[in-house]
A = this chain, B = another copy of it.
Amino acid sequence: MGETMTETSGLEAPSAEKVLKVALLGGGTVGSQVARILLEDADALAARAGARLVLTGIAVRNVDAPRDVELPRELYTTDAEKLVSGADLVIELMGGIEPARTHILAALKNGASVVTGNKALLAQDGAALFDAASANNADLNFEAAVAGAIPIIRPIRESLSGDRITRVLGIVNGTTNFILDAMDTTGAQFADVLAEAQRLGYAEADPTADVEGLDAAAKAAILASLAFHTRVSLEDVRCEGITKVTADDIAAAQDAGMTIKLLAIAELITAGDSADGTAAEGVSVRVHPTLLPRKHPLAAVHGAFNAVFVEADNAGSLMFYGAGAGGAPTASAIMGDVVSTARRIAAGAPGAPGAATRALPILGLDAVTTSYSIGLEVADQPGVLSRVAAVFAEHGVSIETMRQTVDGAPGLAAADRWSAGGRAELRFVTHPASEAALAATVADIKNLDVVESVTSVLRVEGV
């Protein structure tokens, strides 16, 4: 390996003979791609980083397992600990909490910098990792942890570091976006589309982490931490998946000129008096299916693509769009971090500071007001709308729009439908209301004798 690595040829001769030892933990899809790029593009990377990146080994569970990408056999090792101990830069692509955490902490304590795409670990234990990085003057970079190849971590940490981010809305899970987009296009039910997504490889055999929003919640915690310079962990994120979204919900959204997306939403909320400087700021982070107007830029994100929409005081609205997963895109994000980190190390500069400069409170959902779309199945008889509307009014929830769809045979006269015990569907969209007010409203509406069922309650953004 050494021979090909130290040769320099072509236009991209390295400007320095500095060498950085790079340890790779994990030899799966992304790891194989990263190793391939480190070997194949060694000269170009050396020129850009100002140091030669020498891959010293790839830690795997089984050295003899078959691999997608053919790499020199002698690179593989099962001794991750030893590999880490000699490294200047550790790339962690094992995933999961342990042993990834132990290896990352060991690397940072050695003063080695770490590049990782491990969103679960960052969302659960980010604070400990950042503290270890700061204490040891090392870098901890993780562009690949959110939205694959889309540069979003670095823009938030650096490009927007002179602005005040107030809100982040992200489509950060490709599987759920693929499913919702397919439901929107075909009118099919969730279960059927999920089965098709599994068949096509867009959803895993056990799709829980994706469809219940847990993957998106981990990414939401990471985005919120960076956007608001505070610490947010997975348990701070209120999370609701897409398993209850029905074809009827999608159809009703279409009727209203909207679409349904699973959004990761992080908001900076200001309460109190800002005039005397005592304004209390807090953070709300949540993941849930959300109605979005079709004209919103996020509504145009189709298939398994990801996008993150950022609102900042001065920058206004920004959107970052691209492939959110896959071996090559994720490898691109990892390698961007590797080169940037290597540049920093090669220049002899101290590590970048941790992200948290504030300690904002995590606010409950009562601090958040959003518009809601509520679907009801009601008895199709006179006076129902007025009784339902009265409940909204009691709880101070203001109705923005209402649509009624009547069940039953087309052309049947209204009087016949009533006598036949027909059903009607009512769809309300409210003005912004608190979660508490909304929950109380829905509970009371359920108790009305004319209401058969509450068929859906969905939040609305971007109106």
Residue ranges of A at the interface with B (Cβ–Cβ < 8 Å):
9-12, 15, 33, 37, 41, 44-45, 47-50, 143, 149-151, 154-155, 158-164, 229, 277, 297, 300, 312-323, 326, 328-329, 331-340, 343-344, 347-350, 352-353, 357-360
Chain B residues, Cβ within 8 Å of A315: 149, 322-323, 328-329, 332-333
Check B349 against A162 for contact (C-beta < 8 Å).
Answer: no
Closest to A351 in B: B347
Chain B residues, Cβ within 8 Å of A312: 149, 332
Check A314 against B332 for contact (C-beta < 8 Å).
Answer: yes
Closest to A156 in B: B151
Q: How many copies does the complex hold?
A: 2
Chain B residues, Cβ within 8 Å of A344: 349
CB distance from A450 to the nearest CB of B (A): 43
Known: A37-B162, A329-B315. Is A277-B320 also a contact (CB below 8 A)?
Answer: no
8 contacts between A and B (CB under 8 A): A41-B164, A47-B357, A49-B161, A149-B318, A151-B159, A159-B333, A343-B353, A348-B350
Known: A159-B333, A159-B340, A297-B300. 18 other contacts (CB 8 A): A41-B164, A47-B229, A154-B155, A155-B159, A160-B336, A162-B336, A162-B337, A162-B338, A163-B332, A315-B322, A315-B323, A316-B328, A316-B329, A318-B323, A321-B321, A343-B353, A344-B349, A347-B352
Chain B residues, Cβ within 8 Å of A313: 328, 332
Tell which of B49, B229, B277, B319 touches A9, judged by Cβ atoms closer than 8 Å: B277
Complex alpha-carbon distance, A436 and B10, angstroms: 30
Check B350 against A347 for contact (C-beta < 8 Å).
Answer: yes
Chain B residues, Cβ within 8 Å of A348: 349-350
Chain B residues, Cβ within 8 Å of A163: 149, 332, 335-336
9 tightest CB-CB pairs across the interface, nearest first?
A: A162-B335, A349-B349, A151-B159, A149-B315, A314-B332, A151-B155, A318-B322, A315-B332, A161-B339
Check B332 against A322 for contact (C-beta < 8 Å).
Answer: no
Closest to A279 in B: B10
Tell which of B161, B314, B338, B347 touches A340, judged by Cβ atoms closer than 8 Å: B161
Check B314 against A328 for contact (C-beta < 8 Å).
Answer: yes
Complex alpha-carbon distance, A339 and B322, angstroms: 27
Chain B residues, Cβ within 8 Å of A357: 12, 15, 44, 47-48
Chain B residues, Cβ within 8 Å of A155: 151, 154-155, 159
Known: A332-B312, A333-B315. Is A10-B277 also a contact (CB below 8 A)?
Answer: yes
Complex alpha-carbon distance, A338 and B41, angstroms: 32
Check A11 against B359 for contact (C-beta < 8 Å).
Answer: yes
Closest to A334 in B: B162
Check B349 against A343 for contact (C-beta < 8 Å).
Answer: no
Closest to A348 in B: B350
Chain B residues, Cβ within 8 Å of A326: 316
CB distance from A456 to the nearest CB of B (A): 28
Check A150 against B318 for contact (C-beta < 8 Å).
Answer: yes
Check B33 against A314 for contact (C-beta < 8 Å).
Answer: yes
Complex alpha-carbon distance, A48 and B156, angstroms: 12
Q: Which of A143, A163, A338, A352 has the most CB of B within 10 A?
A: A163
Q: Which of A319, A328, A348 has the most CB of B within 10 A?
A: A319
Known: A50-B353, A315-B329. Is A11-B360 also a contact (CB below 8 A)?
Answer: yes
Check A314 against B149 for contact (C-beta < 8 Å).
Answer: yes
